[in-house]
Amino acid sequence: MKTTGMKQSYGTLTVKTAMLVIAGLLLFAPFLFQDIRALEVAARICIFIVLVASYDLLLGYTGIVSFAHTMFFGFGCYGAAIALRQMGPGWDAVAIGTLGGVLVSLVVATVIGLISLRVKAIFFAMITLATASVVLVLASQLSQITGGEDGITYRAPDIFKTATKLMVDEDGKVLRWFGVRLNGKLAAYYFVFTTSLVLFLILLRVTVSPLGTVLKAIRENEARAEAIGYRVVAYRTFVFCLSAVMASLAGSVYAIWLKYTGPDTALSFSIMIDILLMVVIGGMGTMWGAVIGAVLLVMAQYYLRDLMGAASEAVAGIPLLPELLAPDRWLFWLGIIFILLVYFFPRGIAGTLMTRGMRT
């Protein structure tokens, strides 16, 4: 028993150490990786950590399979985008747009939950998929409101403008700290980082609260949880609404960062697939898995093609290998990597590491 406890503690310690390293890298990303692409990757990781964690609250902790999570993300994106376009780049527009996205998400999630969460899991999943598809079609066709397929471009609050000088010297030049210009782009990144951190901590607090224990009980045995007095439908509807609100808030933050919102960036089904992959890679039923999954998949999407290009050039003299490692085949290798991760980490990276010590 002592050896098992030591193994379990070692696995948990490994995951927590990885979390501290990732948090440190994201916190100091503008100073460690001083290029626009790296900052875009770091901001996207922050957003997807919240998005994946909120979805894991559904799938991993409560056992609810939904394909509408991107829809709620899109409500947040379009809420902020429409308000900023109509009202101008002010914080009042941000507040109204964000609140509007949250209210729409809450109403839609409540209706879907109360009507559909009584049915079996597969039927609920199909209902959410159909609803998300309808919203995607509406966003593409209501061009006067949503911009249609072209989407919406707008301006963020003035403090987030790239040209905004947050700190200047006596000569009017923008000050630098460790070689990084203290301007609006830096402010925008730390707005994304801080907001994402707060939302993630809220989700983490929910999972370790008594509510989190009830959700796990519903996941493990819904009939038993209802038999001992828990109103299962009410709990499932509540967590569905909470997850939708968190996804909507993440969407609003992403819209402010991106300054563009369209069907491909906010409502695309490929985003839903990415979320599912991140949950599986990181580990269902653990908030730490959301962090690991988001980091690995976003990094692969942005840098795997470059790594394969370098590898292809390095083995240029070897038959077949340059063609196998061609950058255009990065999705093939991403699929291979995913299969290997599922094989060696059947409960996800975080889940497997944290439970491996429980084996005798």
| Helical axes 121-141 vs 69-87, angle rounded to 10° | 30
**What's the pLDDT score for residue 181?**
65
Q: In which band, very low, low, confident or very high, does the pLDDT at 322 lie, cut at 50, 70 and 90?
A: confident
**What's the pLDDT score for residue 166?**
54
Give the whole-number percent of the chain exceeding pLDDT 90: 47
Per the CB < 8 A criterion, the answer to whether 203 and 54 are in contact is yes
Give CA–CA dist 360/15, Å, rounded: 21
What are the tens digits of pLDDT across the range 152-174?
999 988 888 766 555 554 455 55
Let me know if 106 is exposed, middle or buried by CB neighbors in 10 A (0-12, 13-18, 19+).
middle
Tracing tokens 């409960």 back to the chain, one arrives at 347
Q: Give me the mean pLDDT over the 33-44 stretch.
A: 88
Residue that wins the pLDDT comparison between 256 and 15:
256
State in Å, rounded, how far the first CA of the chain is from the last one. Answer: 9
**What's the pLDDT score for residue 224?**
85
Q: Give me the mean pLDDT over the 303-329 stretch.
A: 84
Q: Give me the mean pLDDT over the 29-57 stretch.
A: 91
**What's the pLDDT score for residue 253?**
96
**What's the pLDDT score for residue 212?**
87
Domain ranges of the chain: 2-358
| pTM for the full predicted model | 0.90
What are the tens digits of pLDDT across the range 190-226?
999 999 999 999 999 999 998 888 888 888 887 888 8
**What's the pLDDT score for residue 179?**
54
Give CA–CA dist 316/121, Å, rounded: 50
What are the tens digits of pLDDT across the range 240-279?
999 999 999 999 999 999 999 999 999 999 999 999 999 9
Tell me: pLDDT of 185 over 90: no
Per the CB < 8 A criterion, the answer to whether 157 and 90 are in contact is yes
Structure tokens at 241: 């609404």
φ/ψ (deg, to 5) at 180: -105, 130
Burial string for 284-321 (b: 16+ CB within 10 Å, else e) reads bbbbbbbbbbbbbbbebeeebbeebeebbeeeeeeeee
Q: Give me the mean pLDDT over the 118-133 stretch.
A: 84
Burial string for 228-263 (b: 16+ CB within 10 Å, else e) reads eebebeebbbbbbbbbbbbbbbbbbbbbbbbbbbbb
**What's the pLDDT score for residue 2?**
44
Domain 2-358 has CATH 1.10.10: no
Give CA–CA dist 286/347, Å, rounded: 10
Q: Given its phi and psi angles, is residue 151 left (phi above 0), alpha (psi -120 to 50 degrees) or beta? A: left
